[in-house]
A and B are shown apart, each in its own frame.
Chain A
Amino acid sequence: MSADVQLDQVWIRFGDFVAARDVNIHIQEGEFFSFLGPSGCGKTTLLRAVSGFSEPSEGRVLIGGRDMAGIGPNKRPTALIFQNLALFPLMTVWENIAFSLEVKGVGTKERRKKAEELLELIALPGQGEKMVSELSGGQKQRVAIARALAAEPDVLLLDEPLSALDLKLRQHMRTELRAIQQRVGITFIYITHDQGEALTMSDHVAVMSQGIIQQVGDGNTIYDQPETAFVASFVGENNLFKGKVSEISGDYALVDTSAGNIRARTSKGEERLSAGDEAYVFIRPESLKIANASKFDNRIGANIKQQEFEGSFWQVFFDVEGSDRDVKLSTVNDGSTLIHKVGDRVDLGFSADMAIATPAGELAAE
């Protein structure tokens, strides 16, 4: 079974501190949903409200359409995988996995059988007799997943479960998690501050900052059509030009920045730009081109400051007048050597569709 999860005008306060501010999200049944945000933005807090360890100060949490107010974590159809896994070190692997069955009073024989099935699922067959301390990091990870799945939850909640693993294992576990989710077909709510994880695994991502949901969408939308300055600066790399809107025409804005006038698409968030507003213009490094003769909507004069070779692509950094940040360009290494040298003066060009103008606002920390 699987269930949808609805957060309806949820506020969570700790004294005067607001950890979640008016959160409205509908997570569909059976989807892989991620909350993405920097450390301390309130991700764990929200997840605890879903799992029942805390109640929202205001608003409702609905699972499968049922209001969860007053229902404790042991009675909710959710299972939580903790940031530090919280496996029981004094029990064997199979006892850990079958713990929820033990609680329900299932007999030993059946528990063993179920544990063995789940060990099969997580690719650790026959390892049930080991103690948790005898497992590697990735194996512990998988045991924690199996322990949660054994409870047959409608919704599985995962609180940065991969953060303790090294890079290689993390990438491997991503694929594995996604595969497990598709096999069991239940709703996964996944928390992470790693955008790579969120974008590769999820059907939908909610980007959060300081207790506020900035944007909800699929990975592509989040990356290509950020709605707020925070999302644009947090997800992926972006060059930023600050300025003032001088003109709005349809879906485009003309922004007067220190590097000159830039035409850009306007963001589609709740807050819309109008002439005279402070605005930020974002351009991805891969959308910037060194403009020779070709036509571009926008052109910026720049000096090459540094060129870095990264194997499959080049990173080029520029000084732009009136901007205190380096502007970065990345281009695929297609075998043709770069024709420019450090110190050269060039024009950077990009189309208006590749640039996005958002209302000035909070930026992600570098």
Chain B
Amino acid sequence: MGRYWQEFFLRNGTALALYLLISVACWMLLMIILPQIFMLDFSFRTNVPPPLWGTEAHGYTLEHYQYMVYGSAQSTDSYNFVDLSVFGRTILTAIFVTLIDVALCYPVAYYLAHVASGGWARLMVMALIVPFWVNELLRAFAFKIMFGSTGIINNFLVAIGILDQPFDFIRNGVALYSGLSYAYILLMIFPIYNAVESLDKNQIEAARDLGCPWWRIHWRVVIPHAKPGITSGCTMVFMLTAGALAAPQILGGPSSLWFTQIIYQAFNQAGNWARGSAYAIILLSTSIIFVLCMMKIFKVKLGEIAR
């Protein structure tokens, strides 16, 4: 370790080395560690207005976490069914969206990496990337318009006679699932693409030569090789989907709340920063635990994901 630092300083010169170290440390501290520590701290304190922060009244408590599970003391229900069910649905939907993205992206990534030739592949990559130059909110609104009762999809389906009257894609969550699936699709495609692309074509051919049907080649050769990329994509898409706000806000039906919306309400409407923090911590830690469990099950190491 000592030698590593020595080399680091020698290679970059003292000034540059110090600059790099300090900037990375500041970045970590200010952007990542401190905010989370404040959040964590807040989530364990009573909810008092800002002037009372730091006083006796701003003491430690578990009430916000208990609230998430049991609801308010006045409530007749023994559990906080509303928040718990929103939470459960958010996690389940995020899993569902992640699975959809894997199913969509794996074939595309494989095609790009091993089937499409140079110019055509570049064109496809452009077609994937360019829409993401448009702001996330605008994209969500575009989906809303598209899936609306007089949107292009309904018009088309009615025109060709599959539907006799417009289908309410928004109330049924179809718009939301589509919007969420699309929102982070690049974060799924590129890790899988990188992983699949590094597979030696000869291995695919060798498997074929040994009598392997195409689906089995994927199952035994390509997917095992791409597993770190798939996991990496799944991790990012799952985390970001579970924590998404714009798409649920715009595309969610009137009856379907996303857990981030509850957090948002706690912070901005109820003025209850402590509860908002507690809920955010719950969402974050659940997501992390879930991802770690999945990595354990699929036998992927953290180091492989970062490749």
Which residues of chain A have a CB within 8 Å of any CB of chain B?
Answer: 51-53, 72-75, 78-80, 82-84, 86-88, 90-91, 99-100, 102-104, 147-148, 151
Q: Does B34 have its Cβ within 8 Å of any Cβ on chain A? A: no
- Does B209 contact A80, Cβ atoms closer than 8 Å? yes
Residues of B within 8 A of A72 (CB): 208
Identify which of residues 260-291 in chain B touch chain A, using a CB-to-CB cut-off of 8 Å: none
Given contacts A88-B221, A90-B224, A103-B216, contact A82 B206 (CB under 8 A): yes
Nearest CB on A from B213, distance (A) = 7
Instruction: Indicate if the CB atoms of B202 and A82 lie closer than 8 Å.
Output: yes
B211 and A100 within 8 A (CB): yes
With A84-B202, A86-B202 known as contacts, the answer to whether A74 contacts B225 (CB < 8 A) is: no
Chain A neighbourhood of B224, CB < 8 A? 90
Q: Give the size category of B's interface with A.
A: 10 to 19
B212 within 8 A of A: yes
8 Å CB contact of A74 from B200, B202, B208, B221: B208
When distances are taken between beta carbons in the complex, the residues of chain B under 8 Å from A78 are 209
B95 proximal to A (CB < 8 A): no
What would be 20 A-B contacts, judged by CB atoms less than 8 Å apart? A73-B205, A74-B211, A74-B212, A75-B211, A78-B209, A79-B209, A79-B210, A86-B202, A86-B203, A87-B206, A88-B206, A88-B221, A90-B224, A90-B225, A99-B207, A100-B210, A103-B212, A148-B210, A151-B210, A151-B211
| Smallest CB gap from B227: residue in A | A90
What 5 additional pairs, Cβ within 8 angstroms, besides A53-B205, A79-B209? A74-B210, A75-B211, A82-B202, A83-B202, A103-B216
Is the beta-carbon distance between A104 and B205 smaller than 8 angstroms? no
Given the complex of chains A and B, what is the CA–CA distance between A72 and B214 in angstroms?
A: 12
CB distance A147 to B205 under 8 Å?
no
**Chain B residues whose CB sits within 8 angstroms of the CB of A82 once the complex forms:** 202, 205-206
Whether B209 and A51, one on each chain, are in contact in the complex, defined by CB atoms closer than 8 angstroms, is yes
Complex CA–CA separation, A270 to B164 (angstroms): 78
Given known A-B contacts A53-B205, A73-B205, A88-B221, A103 and B210 have beta carbons under 8 A apart:
yes
- Asked whether A86 lies within 8 Å of B210 as measured between CB atoms, the reply is no
Interface string of B203-235 (1 = CB under 8 A from A): 101111111110010001100110000000000
